[in-house]
């Protein structure tokens, strides 16, 4: 494994744990470039308070939970507001749909079990699980993680549901100029791979490329000389939505596994 990334330059699009990731790449013989494609992720207290009041005063007919971290943040704020018992009661009183094993685990430790869950950790899997549900006239609360999910919202509205969104976290765009640097390096083939650790990182990059009229070039680069590396299913989905078909991703969603998988992929190609 030591030299599996020898001569390979990897751009790291994640702002969190960049030092750890760089060390992993370097230990495998590669060169890591820190190219954060998103800013900080922060807890949006005001939105959270409003959302919880709304949730507990007007319980929904269905709750869709998409991240364990977001659910933990909701319970943390409910406790601060003296609403934790009421929130648990409301959650237990309506069916829950959950995406991802971390969300299911966050529910489990509170004695809750989802009636619907994805079969593969993805949004597509979650929607498959909801396909047989009659959602006409139902109020649905959708807990997201820092960015909107137009695809889920559109699907729910087409199914006749009324959707209320709650986002405990907010993703901010990266520093000015960061996306320009990364885009130019990808288009010039100056990097061999770009490692994405969350869906917003790719969405910010694709959005910037679209504004510059260079999205088709970006997609072509990822289908040609540059490898798109993804930490897991949700991140991979954001790449697929823009038409990228060649994605290197590990079976288990771990940063270390992502680089091991990249090393394996390159070794097989050699």
113-151, pLDDT tens digit by residue? Answer: 999 998 887 888 899 999 999 999 999 999 987 666 788
- Secondary structure percentages of the chain, helix, strand, coil, to 5: 45, 15, 35
Q: Is the pLDDT of residue 2 over 70?
A: no
- Give the three-class secondary structure for 153: helix
- Report the alpha-carbon distance of residue 139 to residue 164 in Å, rounded: 8
Chain mean pLDDT for the chain? 92
Q: Is the pLDDT of residue 262 over 90?
A: yes
The label of the residue with tokens 């992502």 reads: 258
Which CATH code fits 42-170? 3.40.50.10090
| Number of residues that make up the chain | 270
Query: At 1, is the pLDDT very low, low, confident or very high (cuts 50, 70, 90)?
Result: low
Domain with CATH 3.40.50.10090 in the chain: 9-39+173-269, 42-170
- pLDDT value at position 131? 93
- pLDDT value at position 47? 86
- Report the alpha-carbon distance of residue 231 to residue 253 in Å, rounded: 6
Listed in order, strand segments (DSSP E) in the chain are 9-12, 31-34, 41-43, 62-65, 96-98, 116-117, 139-143, 162-166, 169-171, 193-196, 227-230, 247-248
CB 199 within 8 A of CB 147: yes
In terms of DSSP bridges, do strands 139-143 and 162-166 run parallel, antiparallel, or are they unpaired?
Answer: parallel
Cβ-based burial of 214 (10 A; exposed 0-12, middle 13-18, buried ≥19): middle
The CATH T-level fold of domain 9-39+173-269 is: Rossmann fold (3.40.50)
11-65, pLDDT tens digit by residue? Answer: 999 887 788 899 999 999 999 999 999 887 778 888 899 999 999 999 999 999 9
């Amino acid at each position: 494994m030591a030299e599996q990334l020898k001569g390979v330059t990897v751009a790291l699009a994640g702002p969190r744990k960049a030092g750890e990731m760089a060390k992993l790449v370097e230990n495998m013989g590669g060169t890591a470039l820190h190219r954060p494609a998103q800013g900080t992720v922060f807890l949006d207290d005001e939105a959270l308070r409003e959302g919880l009041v709304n949730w507990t005063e007007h319980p929904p007919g269905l709750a869709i939970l998409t991240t364990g971290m977001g659910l933990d943040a909701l319970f943390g704020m409910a406790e601060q507001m003296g609403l934790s018992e009421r929130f648990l009661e409301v959650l237990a009183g309506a069916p829950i749909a959950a995406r991802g094993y971390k969300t299911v685990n966050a529910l489990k430790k509170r004695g809750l079990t989802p009636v619907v869950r994805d079969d593969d950790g993805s949004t597509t899997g979650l929607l498959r699980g909801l396909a047989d549900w009659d959602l006409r006239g139902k109020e649905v609360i959708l807990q997201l993680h820092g960015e909107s999910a137009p695809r889920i919202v559109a699907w729910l509205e087409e199914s006749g549901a009324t959707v209320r969104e709650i986002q405990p976290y907010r993703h901010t765009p990266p520093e000015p100029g960061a996306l320009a640097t990364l885009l130019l390096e990808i288009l010039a083939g100056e990097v061999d791979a770009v490692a994405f650790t969350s869906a917003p990182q790719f969405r910010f990059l694709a959005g910037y490329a679209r504004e510059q009229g260079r999205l088709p070039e970006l997609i072509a680069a990822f289908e040609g000389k540059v490898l798109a590396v993804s930490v897991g299913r949700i991140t991979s989905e954001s790449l697929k939505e823009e038409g990228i078909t060649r994605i290197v991703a590990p079976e288990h969603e771990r940063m270390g596994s992502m680089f091991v998988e990249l090393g394996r992929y390159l070794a097989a190609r050699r």
